[in-house]
């Protein structure tokens, strides 16, 4: 890279000197000046010498002092003519064709009197062209030009000297000069005039200076060569903010333009929604209502907050809400639109809303959402919420009060409680661990009970479940110095919540220096029961420590209230809180306490011996009767309270044997206790004991607050969720599995023989003996003389008294049907004979209304003609468990038309399929209370009824959703039957 900006600076130019040159020649007859003028009458200082004929010539011409002006290398340009010696006649011997040039440095002007030998020779100069006389005659001047350079110069000036040694020369012009790199603006940097270096190969580094309104990050440099050329520019300057380069200068940006950084080359037009009024603007100002973030580049348009999101929709699943919306119509000109969710919980009545609080969780997050959807979970059940979905972008915060949102109102559904998170250990002994816990964060309803599952660490397949209404329990019968894992879950009307995480606690090690009262008891018990254990040795070998204790418990059942100390040994039973239920599981199945099978009290010669074998005698003084709750076959059934010495007082049901009973009646009455006493299962009614030593004779059982299941369901028609109903069925199936495992065939399984407690736990009851079925008003005498509840009984049991667990499964199917239809009477008012006939012919009950298809299928399976094809209770339990675990499997309902096509038995009250009147129809569906309303509103005929709509119902005041559903479903069914031509109206 070279720039030919060099310049010659003359130090001397003989031709331009107007006056005397002041040069000195010696000897005087040597060099002589010829006074000539050019066409402008300017003198031409020409020196000549031509002593070619004379010997030993030494003619010097010395210039005046020449200042070098700081240059350290100078150039000497000589223009001269020289005569060709050959053209000279006779002078050949001495004629020369060269001359010598010398210089002498000095700081002063008067240093000219120096000796010849002090001069330093620059060169001997010869002519490129010499001329002859002939040439002269033609007046053609052959002018030679020779240039020599000298350096480095170390003094301020010098003299030049020209020595002639016998040539014929005319020195026409002497020019002395130096070279410099001339001032230049390069890359907006100004480089000053620079005299070249002394050495011909030297490059001088020169720093540039940025021009006005420019700046630099790397200082600009260039190099000045000996030839006066600028070489190798490095670095540069840039016009500062608000200025741009024009013709090597920096000029301000025009109004409406801006330049925000030195790096940008030119000024830019202001971006949309901004302006610049002044010249030299470094940025543009946003128009009103438009903003620029600090991080926004200046070339970006000014932007504004977005408008509200659009079309928000919600999708509710229990206590979760999925919200979705569309991006705002106006994004404000920005791409960084984000969404925030504001959650407000609103009171239905007051209309007041409050913040939702920290329990509510958002996925992926609550604010700064990039996508147009969010999942909100852990809301409260049955609660109104307002969600405000707010759009914001990078400039929203710059405009106060610019919240733009769309809101969605939702009401959450019922949901199971959230998991329990805080579990604390209490007292720990070598055999027991006490725990307490906090109610779940979100109970989502009233907590009915807690279920505590525990097992020995790494023995998960064998676990125990305790149920408790309190928030503390004591797990007993544990091994010393062992780790146990506990998990707790809560249950509400909506079902069970998820189990808590696992909590691990360890029992204390065995210590012989027992400290507490409790720790001594087992030692006493062991000493008392040593004999028993020895007797039970072989069996005990197979059983766990806990089961062994059950054996002891059974032994101690013979004692009554008077033996509190010994009674305490029966910890797993005697100390069990009535509100706690305890189940043992092995590999997911309920583990039988021992390998017990049912023993028919008939096998005892003396039934009273059997009752004392299986039932504990209670002192009548421990029992307080409170009121009569029902009538049993042998006498009244009462509720009351029992205070056993080791337990706190609790509610019981007391069946009494009426006075004046016969021996057989007493035997039969206590027979039920003998059977019940053999069972120990959460879904079998639990026998507390019997009173036989005083009158009246009593059977004391746990109290079931809600009484018999059929009445309870009829009373609460349509009030439960499917999960709750399935929960009831699961309990019954589980109890039945236990009975069938024990080898006990119930024979009279029906909803009326199921009791239900306040926690909606169902328990199988009514264990008859020889009187089986005799106390059941449903039981009818068969042709063979037995008394059988026809509608509940499997065909083979009716036909040839083949009662088995498989026939119990048939009855269980009928119970399922009763439960799912809220206590509807199976086969309605059909006669027993018609039922037997229809079932024989393969007809089966139609699906109850709104019944999940999976459940109806299970019913049909229970009603298989071939009893071996029916499911086992174990299979029923696991099937129901599966449905409970996966509630969506219960969503598919048997739809109305399927129900009708299954409706193989006529079931209208008239028996011929037609309802004669609106009243009859409403009675049939247990909605008779609306008869007057219907008639008053013009729906007085069944014809009119088939035209009725849900709006009609609402209009004339049928507001209960359950009733609306029931009526509308029935109308739909009648319409479908009409279509099928089944029912003549
Ligand atoms: P039962 O003779 O067992 O059929 O009893 C007659 C009625 O008494 C039942 O239908 C129930 O309403 C009531 N009942 C029997 N046992 C209990 C109990 N343990 N808890 C509450 N009510 C009971």
- Ligand 1 in reach of 766 Cβ (< 6 A): yes
- Read off the pLDDT of residues 9-35 as tens digits, 9 standing for 90 and up: 899 998 888 878 889 998 888 999 887
CA of 206 to the centre of ligand 1 (A): 116
| Lowest mean per-residue pLDDT among 357-366, 653-662, 765-774, 845-854 | 765-774
Q: How far is the CA of 621 from the centre of ligand 1 (A)?
A: 22
Q: How far is CA 265 from the centre of its chain?
A: 47
Compute the average pLDDT of residues 890-906: 56
Asked if 665 and 656 touch (Cβ cutoff 8 Å), the reply is no
782 in Cβ contact with 792 (< 8 Å): no
Whether the pLDDT of residue 730 is over 90: the answer is yes
761 Cα: distance to centroid of ligand 1 (angstroms): 15
CA 656 / ligand 1 centre spacing (Å): 11
User: Does the annotation list 30 as a binding residue?
Assistant: no
Regarding the beta carbon of 914 and ligand 1, being less than 6 Å apart is answered no
Q: How far is the CA of 818 from the centre of ligand 1 (A)?
A: 18
Q: Is the pLDDT of residue 517 over 50?
A: no
Catalytic center residues: 748
Question: Residue 46: CB within 6 Å of ligand 1?
Answer: no
Asked if 249 and 242 count as a contact pair (C-beta separation under 8 A), the reply is no
Residue 925 annotated as lining a ligand binding site: no
- Residue 635 assigned ligand-binding role: yes
Q: Lowest mean pLDDT of 5-9, 191-195, 529-533, 848-852, name the range.
A: 529-533
Which residue, judged by its Cα, is nearest atom 16 of ligand 1? 653
Residue nearest to atom 5 of ligand 1 (CA): 632
Q: Is 669 assigned to a binding site?
A: no
- 8 Å CB contact between 814 and 792: yes
* 294 in a labelled binding site: no
- Closest ligand 1 atom to residue 765 Cα is 3
654 lines ligand 1 (CB under 6 A): no
Residue ID of nearest Cα to ligand 1 atom 10: 708
Highest mean pLDDT among 255-264, 624-633, 926-935: 255-264
Segment (H or E) for 665: helix 663-676
Highest mean pLDDT among 122-131, 141-150, 337-346: 337-346
Query: SS3 breakdown of the chain: % helix, strand, coil, rounded to 5?
Result: 25, 30, 45
**Contacts of the segment 630-634: beta carbons below 8 A, 24+ positions apart:** 630/707, 632/775, 633/771, 633/774, 633/775, 634/658, 634/661, 634/665, 634/668, 634/669
* C-beta of 701 in contact with ligand 1 (< 6 A): yes
Q: Is the CB of 640 under 6 A from ligand 1?
A: no
357-371, 538-552, 684-698: segment of lowest average pLDDT: 538-552
Closest C-alpha to ligand 1, atom 21: 704
Under 8 Å between Cβ of 164 and 153? no
CA 670 to centroid of ligand 1, rounded, Å = 15
The length of the chain is 985
Task: Please write the tens of the pLDDT for every residue from 298-337.
Answer: 889 999 999 999 999 888 888 889 999 999 999 999 999 9
**pLDDT of 40 over the 80 cut:** no
The predicted pLDDT at position 914 comes to 60
- Tell me how far apart the alpha carbons of residues 968 and 949 are, in angstroms, rounded to a whole number: 8
Ligand 1 atom with minimal separation from the 685 CA: 19
634 a known binding residue?
Answer: yes
Cβ proximity of 60 and 161 under 8 Å: yes
pLDDT tier, 284 (very low <50, low <70, confident <90, very high otherwise)? very high
pLDDT at site 735: 97
Query: 676 C-alpha vs ligand 1 centroid, how far in Å?
Result: 14
Q: Is the CB of 70 under 6 A from ligand 1?
A: no
Stated as kind and residue range, the H or E segment containing 468 is: strand 462-468
Ligand 1 near 706 CB (within 6 A)? no
Burial class of residue 687 in the structure, from the number of CB atoms within 10 Å of its CB (0-12 exposed, 13-18 middle, 19+ buried):
buried
The predicted-structure confidence for 203-218, as pLDDT tens digits, reads as follows 889 999 999 999 997 8
What is the C-alpha separation between 251 and 197, in angstroms, rounded? 36
Residue with CA closest to ligand 1 atom 15:
637
Q: Is the CB of 757 under 6 A from ligand 1?
A: no
pLDDT (tens digit, 9 = 90+) per residue, 230-262?
A: 888 889 999 999 999 999 999 999 999 999 999
Distance 704 CA to ligand 1 centre (A): 8
Spatial separation of the C-alpha atoms in residues 127 and 129, rounded to whole Å: 5
Is the pLDDT confidence value at 785 over 90?
Answer: no
- Are 403 and 345 in contact, with CB atoms under 8 Å apart? no
pLDDT value, residue 38: 75
* 638 pocket-lining for ligand 1 (C-beta < 6 Å): no
Question: Does residue 528's CB lie within 6 angstroms of at least one atom of ligand 1?
Answer: no
**630 CA distance to ligand 1 middle (Å):** 6
pLDDT at 576 over 60: no
pLDDT at 273 over 90: yes
| The most confident of 88-92, 427-431, 564-568, 644-648, by mean pLDDT | 427-431
Is 780 annotated for ligand binding? no
Residue to probe by mutation, ligand 1, list 630, 653, 656, most atoms within 8 Å of CB: 630
Q: What is the pLDDT of residues 628-684, one digit of tens each?
A: 898 888 888 999 999 877 778 889 999 999 888 888 888 889 999 999 999 999 999
Protein residue with its CA nearest to atom 7 in ligand 1: 630
Per-residue burial over 549-587, b = 16 or more CB atoms within 10 Å of its CB, e = otherwise = bbbbbbbbbebbbeeeebbbbbbbbbbbbbbbbbbbbee
pLDDT over threshold 90, residue 176: yes
Ligand 1, atom 22, lies closest to the CA of 707
How far does the centroid of ligand 1 lie from the alpha carbon of residue 393, in Å? 68
- φ and ψ of 167, to 5 deg: -110, 170
d(CA 104, CA 676): 144
Query: 768 CB under 6 A from ligand 1?
Result: no
Mean pLDDT of the chain: 82
Backbone angles phi and psi of 803, in degrees to 5 = -90, 120
* 516 labelled ligand-binding: no
Is 244 annotated in some ligand binding site? Answer: no
Q: Say if ligand 1 is within 6 A of residue 429 CB.
A: no
Q: Please write the tens of the pLDDT for every residue from 496-511.
A: 888 999 999 999 987 6
Residue minimizing CA distance to atom 14 of ligand 1? 707
Q: Binding residue per annotation — 19? A: no
User: CA 496, CA 192: separation in Å to the nearest integer?
Assistant: 92
Q: Is residue 43 over pLDDT 70? A: yes
Q: Which residue has the CA at smallest separation from atom 8 of ligand 1?
A: 630
Per-residue pLDDT, averaged over 819-839, amounts to 90
CB 632 less than 6 A from any atom of ligand 1: yes
Q: Which class for 828: exposed (0-12), middle (13-18), buried (19 or more C-beta within 10 A)?
A: middle
Mutate to test the pocket of ligand 1, among 755, 761, 768 (most ligand atoms within 8 A of CB): 755
CA distance 592 to 681: 9
> Does the reported pTM lie above 0.75?
no
Residue 753 Cα to ligand 1 midpoint, Å, equals 8
Q: Using only the alpha carbons of the chain, give its radius of gyration.
A: 60
How many whole angstroms from 752 Cα to the centroid of ligand 1? Answer: 9
Residue with CA at minimum distance from ligand 1 atom 4: 632
Beta bridge partners of 50: 168
Mutate to test the pocket of ligand 1, among 708, 766, 774, 777 (most ligand atoms within 8 A of CB): 708
Q: Is the CB of 847 under 6 A from ligand 1?
A: no
Tell whether ligand 1 has an atom less than 6 A from the beta carbon of residue 673. no
pLDDT > 50? residue 358? yes
| CA 703 to ligand 1: nearest atom | 20
**Nearest CA-CA partner of 699 in 749, 631, 652, 660:** 652
With helix as H, strand as E and coil as C, how does 686-743 read?
A: CEEEEECCCCCCEEEEECCCCCEHHHHHHHCCCCCCHHHHHHHHHHHHHHHHHHHHCC
pLDDT one-digit tens code per residue, 524-567: 333 333 333 333 333 333 333 333 323 222 323 333 332 323 22
- 708 pocket-lining for ligand 1 (C-beta < 6 Å): yes
């Amino acid at each position: 890279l070279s720039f030919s900006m060099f310049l010659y600076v003359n130090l001397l130019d003989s031709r331009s000197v107007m006056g005397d040159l002041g040069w000195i020649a010696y000897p005087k007859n040597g060099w002589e000046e010829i006074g000539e003028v050019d066409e402008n009458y300017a003198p031409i200082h020409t020196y000549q010498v031509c002593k070619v004929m004379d010997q030993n010539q030494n003619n010097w011409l010395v210039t005046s002092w020449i200042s070098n002006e700081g240059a350290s290398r100078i150039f000497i340009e000589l223009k001269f003519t020289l005569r060709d010696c050959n053209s000279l006649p006779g002078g050949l011997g001495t004629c020369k064709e060269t001359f010598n040039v010398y210089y002498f440095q000095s700081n002063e002007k008067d240093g000219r009197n120096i000796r010849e030998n002090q001069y330093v020779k620059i060169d001997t100069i010869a002519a490129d062209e010499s001329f002859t006389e002939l040439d002269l005659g033609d007046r053609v001047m052959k002018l030679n030009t020779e240039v020599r350079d000298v350096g480095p110069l170390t003094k301020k000036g010098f003299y030049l000297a020209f020595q002639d040694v016998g040539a014929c020369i005319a020195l026409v012009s002497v020019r002395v000069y130096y070279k410099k790199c001339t001032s230049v603006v390069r890359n907006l940097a100004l480089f000053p005039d620079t005299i070249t270096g002394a050495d011909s190969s030297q490059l001088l580094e020169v720093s540039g200076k940025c021009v006005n309104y420019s700046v630099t990050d790397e200082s600009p440099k260039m190099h000045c060569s000996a030839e006066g050329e600028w070489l190798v520019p490095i670095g540069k300057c840039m016009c500062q903010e608000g200025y741009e380069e024009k013709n090597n200068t920096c000029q301000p940006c025009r109004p409406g333009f801006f330049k925000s950084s030195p790096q940008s080359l030119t000024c830019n037009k202001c971006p949309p929604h901004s302006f610049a009024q002044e010249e030299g603007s470094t940025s543009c100002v946003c128009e009103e209502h438009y903003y620029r973030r600090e991080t926004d580049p200046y070339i970006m348009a000014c932007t504004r907050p977005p408008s509200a999101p659009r079309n928000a929709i919600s999708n509710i699943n229990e206590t979760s809400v999925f919200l979705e919306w569309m991006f705002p119509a106006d994004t404000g000109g920005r791409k960084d639109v984000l969404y925030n969710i504001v959650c407000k919980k609103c009171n239905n009545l007051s209309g007041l809303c409050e913040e939702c609080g920290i329990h509510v969780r958002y996925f992926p997050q609550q604010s700064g959402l990039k996508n147009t959807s969010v999942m909100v979970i852990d809301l409260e059940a049955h609660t109104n919420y307002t969600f405000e979905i707010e759009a914001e972008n990078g400039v929203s915060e710059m405009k106060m009060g610019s919240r733009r949102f769309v809101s969605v109102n939702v009401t959450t559904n019922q949901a199971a409680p959230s998991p329990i998170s805080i579990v604390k250990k209490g007292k720990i002994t070598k055999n027991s661990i006490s725990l307490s816990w906090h109610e779940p964060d979100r109970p989502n309803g009233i907590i009915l009970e807690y279920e505590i599952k525990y097992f020995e660490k790494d023995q998960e397949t064998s676990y125990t479940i305790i149920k408790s209404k309190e928030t503390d329990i004591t797990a007993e019968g544990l091994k010393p110095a062992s780790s146990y894992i506990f998990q707790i879950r809560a249950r509400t009307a909506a079902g069970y919540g998820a189990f808590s995480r696992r909590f691990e606690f360890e029992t204390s090690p065995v210590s012989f220096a027992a400290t507490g009262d409790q720790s001594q008891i087992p030692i006493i018990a062991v000493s008392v029961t040593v004999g028993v254990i020895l007797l039970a040795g072989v069996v005990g070998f197979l059983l766990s420590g806990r089961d062994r204790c059950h054996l002891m418990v059974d032994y101690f059942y013979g004692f009554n209230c008077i033996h509190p100390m010994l009674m305490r040994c029966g910890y797993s039973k005697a100390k069990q809180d009535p509100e706690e239920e305890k189940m043992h599981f092995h590999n997911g199945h309920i583990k039988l306490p021992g390998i017990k099978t049912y023993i028919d009290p008939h096998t005892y010669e003396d039934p009273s011996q059997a009752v004392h074998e299986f039932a504990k005698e209670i002192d009548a003084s421990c029992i307080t009767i409170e009121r009569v709750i029902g009538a049993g076959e042998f006498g009244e059934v009462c509720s009351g309270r029992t205070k056993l010495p080791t337990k706190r007082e609790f509610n019981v049901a007391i069946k009494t044997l009426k006075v004046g009973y016969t021996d057989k009646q007493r035997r039969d009455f206590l027979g039920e206790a003998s059977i019940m006493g053999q069972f120990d299962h959460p879904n079998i009614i639990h026998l507390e004991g019997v009173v036989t030593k005083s009158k009246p004779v009593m059977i004391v059982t746990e109290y079931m607050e809600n009484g018999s299941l059929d009445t309870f369901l009829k009373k609460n028609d349509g009030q439960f969720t499917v999960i709750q109903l399935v929960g009831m069925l699961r309990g019954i199936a589980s109890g039945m599995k236990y009975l069938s495992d024990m080898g006990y065939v119930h024979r009279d399984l029906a909803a009326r023989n199921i009791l239900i407690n306040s926690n909606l736990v169902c328990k199988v009851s009514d264990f008859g003996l020889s009187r089986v079925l005799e106390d059941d008003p449903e039981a009818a005498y068969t042709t063979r003389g037995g008394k059988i509840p026809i509608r509940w009984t499997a065909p083979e049991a009716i036909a040839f008294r083949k009662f088995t667990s498989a026939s119990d499964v048939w009855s269980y199917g009928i119970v399922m049907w009763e439960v799912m239809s809220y206590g509807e009477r199976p086969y309605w008012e059909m006669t027993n004979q018609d039922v037997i006939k229809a079932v024989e012919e393969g007809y089966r009950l139609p699906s109850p209304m709104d019944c999940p298809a999976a459940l109806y299928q299970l019913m049909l399976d229970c009603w298989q003609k071939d009893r071996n094809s029916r499911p086992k209770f174990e299979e029923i339990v696991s099937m129901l468990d599966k449905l409970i675990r996966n509630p969506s499997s219960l969503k598919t309902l048997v739809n109305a038309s399927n129900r009708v096509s299954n409706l193989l038995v006529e079931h209208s009250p008239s028996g011929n399929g037609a309802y004669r009147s609106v009243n009859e129809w409403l009675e049939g569906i247990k909605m008779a209370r609306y008869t007057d309303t219907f008639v008053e509103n013009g729906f007085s005929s069944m014809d009119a009824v088939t035209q009725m709509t849900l709006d009609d119902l609402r209009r004339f005041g049928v507001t209960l959703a359950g009733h609306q559903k029931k009526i509308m479903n029935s109308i739909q069914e009648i319409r479908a039957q009409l279509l099928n031509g089944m029912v003549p109206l």
